[in-house]
A and B are shown apart, each in its own frame.
Chain A
Amino acid sequence: MTDLWPRLEPLLPRVQKPARYIGGEGGAVTPDWAPHKVAWLLGYPDTYEVGLPNQGLQILYEILNERDDAFAERTYAPWVDLEEQLRTHDVPLFSVDTHRPARDFDVLAFNLSAELVYTNLLNCLDLAGLPIHTARRADADPLVAVGGHAAFNPEPVADFVDLVVLGDGEEVVSEITEVVAAWKRAGKPEGSRERLLRDLAVIEGVYVPSLYDVSYDGPHIAEVAPRFADVPEVVEKRTVIDLADWPYPRNQLVPLTEVVHDRLNVEVFRGCTRGCRFCQAGMITRPVRERPAEQVTQMIGDGLRRTGYDEVSLTSLSTADFSGIEEVTGATMSDPVNCGRVSISLPSLRVDAFTVGIAAQVAKARRSGLTFAPEAGSWRLRQVINKLITDDDLEAAVESAYSQGWQRMKLYFLTGLPSEMDDDTEAIAELGKRCVEIGKQHAKGASVTVSLGGFVPKAHTPFQWFGMNGVDELQRKVNLVRAAVRKTRVQIKWHEPAASLAEGLASRGDRRIGAVIERVWRAGGTFQEWTERFDLTRWTDAMAAEGLDLDWYTTRHRHEDEILPWDHLRAGLHRDFLWQDWQDALAGAGLPDCRWTPCYDCGACTEYGVEHVVASPVPPAGGSQGTGQDLVGAGAPVRFLGARPTGAAR
């Protein structure tokens, strides 16, 4: 086993932010490289600052390091300056924990949180000295695994990865470890790799792309068929039933240099049933599983003492929905150990006054800005996307925030949503201006920043059939909002439409897009999430070279009977549920949150014999709670759909 540190050390004075590469974080381990143990290298194919806080990676790091038959180290994508040094001096990709070469590990497992990192994945494999194509790997080469949200359509990277994990990783990493350990004990013999992959493919939640043949009928997929009888036709995701069994990370990593989300993070629940139709995370992580409030409080207390952080973030897809929110915040703020100096941050704020009230109680310091995500400018369009925030909710939230001392609001919107008309787009500017007016009554310097993201349809959502807006249309909509807020105190920021289009291609691509990703990477297109490194012409050139039509993959609406590249992979959601929800969207009909209404059988619970784990059977208090219903008065402003026989049709 080689320690690459002596070769790396002289290169570090030549690069920016060398502390990214030194490891030594609080909570990091120095594993025992015993020969019988399965060596996992957990990678995040973006910079250290972005990758280190990733909770999924940290959870697996701990679980694997607690096992007797495995251990884990970590790696992140080296920035371009270090990459150049590594290539010049022939130093391979390394782990940050003990600076071992990536190839010394048995499994290289990458978290794919987003699609534009795919070229970085190839770059990491290449820097590791591994053939980027699965087919060219030798029997004893490390296995390349991916997981995370983007892995729910792994087809664009199917040629490069040996196995894909769908869903929660807590249990499945151990099952994979046991199979790999047996292979390692046998000495990874020649000709054993396919057998190993077939053994892995029968683990629930594991998908081995090379064991499936994809055939085409013109541009369309004709069939995706397993090559062997023992390989499942459909791969189901994994779901951890009770978060209370998994109080991880227990030892959150404390980096030595500043990273994003640089604070204690405690996950309060997983899954979301708000049913926002654009939101892949909300669809693929169902059902809702809350962590018991006492456990959250305990994890916060232990974590703050151990790390020395003075800020804790309660993470989830909609933290104000957590049943134990008041109990946990109350206990944490009143803990004398914290001396009143700990602040709690609540990401993904729900848009209503109640939520702001909670935020005001817990943000002791740094009351600088507050972010809300109405996502669409008009109530009509918010019904289409099922983000059921009324204008009253938003105004009450903004009023409450300014009156309690916040000076700046940030509002997130998507443009290019299904059925969006210019009236809807312009309504974004109107909402922004109205918020400024509310703010002026409380603060002289009140300002509002409107952030526009181009909508990218994702797999396993009701919008998976929608043809996204092209670059020109997205830019035109940005310009509409820009023109409407000129000379006002509404500032506007927007995500580069060209990058949204490339993300759209990678999100809903099939296996043919693999060659495109490879071309973009070979042309130097790494770090595509970084505006200064992104250039759409690399993608359009690659599509042209492969004879593929960018519009066909991005702006084309899909048919109901079309085989989608990810149809053999399941997040639990019935396909006919998603199609019906897509039709409801186009009809402008909302769908209530099933935590507090009868089950409409989306499939996430019924398919896996699991249930919501929530402490409270009633919606939390205040406002419409994003249900669109007037929970205090009478009459719902939205047509709610009753239980439908979608599941029964199966």
Chain B
Amino acid sequence: MTAATTIRLRFTKRGKVRFTGHRDVARIWERALRQTGVPIAYTQGFSPRPRLSFGLALPTGDESDGEYLDLLLDEPVDPEPLCEALTAALPDGFEVTAATTIERSTPSLQESVIACTWWFEVRQIERDTAGALARELLEADVLPYTRRRKGREVEVDLRSALGSLVPLGSSERGQAFSVELATKPFSVRPAELIAATHPELELGLSRRTHQWIDGDGARREPIPMPDLVHELAEVRAS
């Protein structure tokens, strides 16, 4: 059977479940979909698997407000009620915040995401240090870093991946920042940025807040966030 429709979901991963790994999350989703009776399509062959495709893996231990998942279904369903039903079936900390039907021709999340915005904390530093840290990184020409990939060490420059870096002030575990990091040609996470430049610093929580795709030259989210647009409009109006 060919899949009749594709649904894109956005979901959060917060709290204790941040310590589950990418594979764990896939299994959690498979069970939740079976519990709710969503007509998920299966692969052909001897060991059929449900046809889910996730975007960029979220590192174990990080939270997210902007995870995405594409579901291939055997028959069309109304995406709206899925949010509540799937949230109820998922463990605490996972919340489905948006669902929309997408064209079959839509490029996969893996291909299309070009950058992510992260919120993260650095433990045990003062506000002034946070400001200085942001300036230092943004003013640097290169930020060399040695990554280990498949047993090999690769020298990379993280500066080209660093978009913006904004100190946000005090948070529960230290000083918070917002950072935008590219995912192409390789994906960088806040922990690597800090490890590359200030290995003496200890990170608190990291939370992916947004993923960005290139939509005809304009940057947008895989599912446009109506709330954000609304908030921005309000800010401009005031």
Q: Which residues of A contact B (CB under 8 A)?
A: 5, 12-13, 17-19, 21-26, 254, 256-258, 305-310, 341, 365-367
Contact = CB atoms under 8 A, between A and B. Distances in A.
The 6 residue pairs across chains A and B that have the minimum distance between CB atoms: A308-B31, A308-B35, A18-B19, A308-B34, A22-B16, A19-B20
Given A308-B35, A366-B47, A12 B19 contact: yes
B46 interface: yes
25 contacts: A12-B61, A13-B61, A17-B21, A19-B24, A22-B19, A22-B20, A24-B16, A24-B92, A26-B91, A254-B31, A256-B17, A256-B20, A256-B28, A257-B21, A257-B24, A305-B35, A307-B35, A308-B30, A308-B31, A308-B32, A308-B34, A341-B42, A341-B48, A365-B46, A365-B48
Contacts of B91: 24-26, 256
A163 to B, nearest CB: 33
Interface in B24-53: 24, 27-28, 30-35, 42, 46-48
Nearest to B62: A13
B60 interface: yes
Contacts of A310: 30, 34
Nearest to A307: B31
Contact of B60 (A5, A18, A25): A18
Given A21-B19, A24-B92, A341-B48, A258 B24 contact: yes
B89 A308 contact: yes
B93 interface: yes
B152 interface: no
Contacts of B32: 308
Nearest to A13: B61
Contacts of A24: 16-17, 91-93
B236 interface: no
A23 B16 contact: yes
Contacts of A341: 42, 48
A365 B42 CA distance: 12
A258 B46 contact: no
Interface residues of B, number: 25
B23 interface: yes
Contacts of A254: 31
Interface string B54-75: 0000001100000000000000
Contacts of A258: 23-24, 27
A336 to B, nearest CB: 12
A5 to B, nearest CB: 8
Interface string B151-188: 00000000000000000000000000000000000000
Nearest to A18: B19
Contacts of A306: 35
A22 B47 CA distance: 31
Nearest to B30: A308
A254 B90 CA distance: 11
Contacts of A18: 19, 60-61
Contacts of B92: 24
Nearest to A337: B37
B21 A19 contact: yes
A365 to B, nearest CB: 5
Contacts of B27: 258
A293 to B, nearest CB: 24
A365 B44 CA distance: 11
Given A256-B24, A308-B89, A365-B47, A22 B17 contact: yes
A397 B11 CA distance: 49
A192 B145 CA distance: 64
Contacts of A22: 16-17, 19-20
Contacts of A307: 31, 35
Given A19-B19, A22-B16, A367-B46, A308 B33 contact: yes
Contacts of A257: 20-21, 24
Interface in B4-26: 16-17, 19-21, 23-24
A25 B93 CA distance: 12
B172 to A, nearest CB: 10
A18 B20 CA distance: 7
Interface in B80-102: 89, 91-93
A388 to B, nearest CB: 35
B61 to A, nearest CB: 5
Given A5-B16, A12-B19, 7 more contacts: A19-B21, A26-B91, A254-B31, A258-B27, A307-B31, A308-B32, A365-B46
A340 to B, nearest CB: 10
A364 to B, nearest CB: 9
Interface in B120-157: none
A237 to B, nearest CB: 37
A26 to B, nearest CB: 7
Contacts of A26: 31, 91
A579 B46 CA distance: 51
A513 B118 CA distance: 56
A254 B29 CA distance: 13
Given A24-B91, A26-B91, A367-B46, A309 B16 contact: no
A341 B40 CA distance: 12
A186 to B, nearest CB: 37
A28 to B, nearest CB: 9
Contacts of A25: 91
A70 to B, nearest CB: 24
A257 B33 CA distance: 17
A215 B161 CA distance: 75
A526 B168 CA distance: 46
Nearest to B34: A308
A393 B77 CA distance: 51
A309 B31 contact: yes
A149 B139 CA distance: 66
B8 to A, nearest CB: 21
Nearest to A365: B47
Contacts of B30: 308, 310
Nearest to B202: A10
Contacts of B31: 26, 254, 307-309
B93 to A, nearest CB: 7
Contacts of A19: 19-21, 24, 60
Contacts of A5: 16
A76 to B, nearest CB: 15
A25 B90 CA distance: 10
A17 B20 CA distance: 8
A94 to B, nearest CB: 13
Nearest to A338: B34
Contacts of A21: 19
Contacts of B93: 24
Q: Which of B16, B21, B31 has the most CB of A within 10 A?
A: B16
B87 to A, nearest CB: 14
Nearest to B172: A6
A5 B16 CA distance: 9
Nearest to A255: B24
Nearest to B16: A22
A75 to B, nearest CB: 16
A307 B36 CA distance: 10
Contacts of A305: 35
B169 to A, nearest CB: 21
